[in-house]
A = this chain, B = another copy of it.
Amino acid sequence: MEKIISLSQEKLLQVNELILERMHSNIPLISQIAKYILSAGGKRLRPILALSSSKLLNYNNSSNQDIYLASAVELIHTATLLHDDVVDNSSKRRNKKTANEVWGNQITILVGDFLFSQAFELMVKTNSLDVLQTLSNASSKIAEGEINQLQCQSKPETTTEEYLEIITGKTAKLFSAACKSGALISTNNIDQIKALEIYGKELGVAYQLVDDALDYISETPKLGKSVGDDFKDGKVSLPIIISWNKGTKDEKNFWTRAISNLDQNENDFNKAKELINKYNGIMETYALAKSYSQKAVDALSIFESCEVKDGLIEVANFTTSRVN
């Protein structure tokens, strides 16, 4: 990721500054919570994608649409994280207590709404109705994806297609919208806009596939949230779907008990990892992620070689090789 980060470094600092500025509120608690979450780190992947997409197309306008756009994208993402953590009752993210753990669900829901509204205020500042249309549609799709996921929770019989639809909604749509919007402020060339939209979408699917696999292989301090959380919540991801589909009757009974009934004992997570390994659940997930990230790279073929393009390819490769 170094190349793409160094290429966006300067703009990214402006994004961080703008976000912190927007978090100012007459209500000190809002600023406090917002700063707490936003300073927790995070890769800033979505704003980087928005900035890099516009940079690839030589965005060169003094009105700073790219900064507004990238900040809006990060705030949408942060708002959904806040609500996700309430919905999942999560206690830890990025090695810190979640906002709901520190301040409770009520405030966290409302601060999420505040961040979401601030995101829209920033989007308006791009002065682009196309960007607004793209990002508001992505927001709807995120909510649909999250609801879809909640409905598939505790259902190990979820199909791969259903799962891919979920992660497309909850993750890939915003990646895609970030890239497309970066293009929209930079060019009228429909092919280029479409290419970046596809790049973002395929990359997003690859990213979430790996993210979900990591819940079964990573170590807590690296991942920054509690490993095994998905399993504990009965959240169904591809490694489980693979193991379920290939599983014996006894193994299916295990998944039904642990995932459908959430009747788990302390050895069950290890048992789950064993079954996932038995059927190559992690390897297959990474392989599928690799095929998506390759599609992302392929979508960039219409662009001439340059540093930014190399950076975007690097992001795609990084996404499917990371192990924490």
A residues adjacent to B (C-beta < 8 A): 25-27, 29-30, 80, 83, 86-87, 105-107, 109-111, 113-114, 116-118, 120-121, 123-124, 127, 129, 132-133, 136-137, 139-140, 142-144, 146-148, 150-151
Contact B150 A106 (CB under 8 A): yes
CA distance A101 to B110 in the complex (A): 19
Nearest chain B CB to A23's CB is how many angstroms away?
A: 11
Contact B106 A143 (CB under 8 A): no
Contact A116 B114 (CB under 8 A): no
CA distance A147 to B30 in the complex (A): 8
Contact A114 B143 (CB under 8 A): yes
Contact B117 A139 (CB under 8 A): yes
A87-B116 CB under 8 A given contacts A144-B27, A147-B30, A151-B29: no
Contact B29 A107 (CB under 8 A): no
CA distance A276 to B124 in the complex (A): 45
CA distance A308 to B120 in the complex (A): 32
Contact B124 A140 (CB under 8 A): no
Nearest chain B CB to A79's CB is how many angstroms away?
A: 8
Contact A27 B148 (CB under 8 A): yes
The residue of chain B having its C-beta at the shortest distance from the C-beta of A137 within the complex is B121
CA distance A150 to B151 in the complex (A): 31
| Interface residue SS majority, chain A | helix
Q: Point out the residues of chain B lying under 8 angstroms from A110, CB to CB.
A: 83, 87, 143, 146-147, 150
Contact B140 A118 (CB under 8 A): yes
Q: Point out the residues of chain B lying under 8 angstroms from A105, CB to CB.
A: 86-87, 105
Q: Point out the residues of chain B lying under 8 angstroms from A87, CB to CB.
A: 105-106, 109-110
Contact A150 B26 (CB under 8 A): no
CA distance A144 to B106 in the complex (A): 13
Q: Point out the residues of chain B lying under 8 angstroms from A121, CB to CB.
A: 133, 136-137, 140
Q: Point out the residues of chain B lying under 8 angstroms from A136, CB to CB.
A: 117, 120-121, 123-124
Contact A117 B132 (CB under 8 A): no
A107-B147 CB under 8 A given contacts A113-B83, A129-B127: yes
The residue of chain B having its C-beta at the shortest distance from the C-beta of A25 within the complex is B144
Contact B83 A143 (CB under 8 A): no
List 8 additional A-B contacts (Cβ < 8 Å) besides A113-B116, A124-B129. Answer: A25-B144, A27-B151, A107-B150, A109-B109, A110-B146, A114-B144, A117-B142, A127-B129
The 3 closest A-B pairs by CB, nearest first: A117-B139, A114-B143, A120-B136
A111-B30 CB under 8 A given contacts A124-B132, A129-B129: no
Nearest chain B CB to A240's CB is how many angstroms away?
A: 20
The residue of chain B having its C-beta at the shortest distance from the C-beta of A116 within the complex is B116
CA distance A27 to B146 in the complex (A): 11
Contact A147 B29 (CB under 8 A): yes
The residue of chain B having its C-beta at the shortest distance from the C-beta of A104 within the complex is B150
Q: Point out the residues of chain B lying under 8 angstroms from A25, CB to CB.
A: 144
Contact B143 A117 (CB under 8 A): yes
Nearest chain B CB to A110's CB is how many angstroms away?
A: 5
Nearest chain B CB to A208's CB is how many angstroms away?
A: 17
A132-B147 CB under 8 A given contacts A83-B113, A87-B110, A113-B83: no
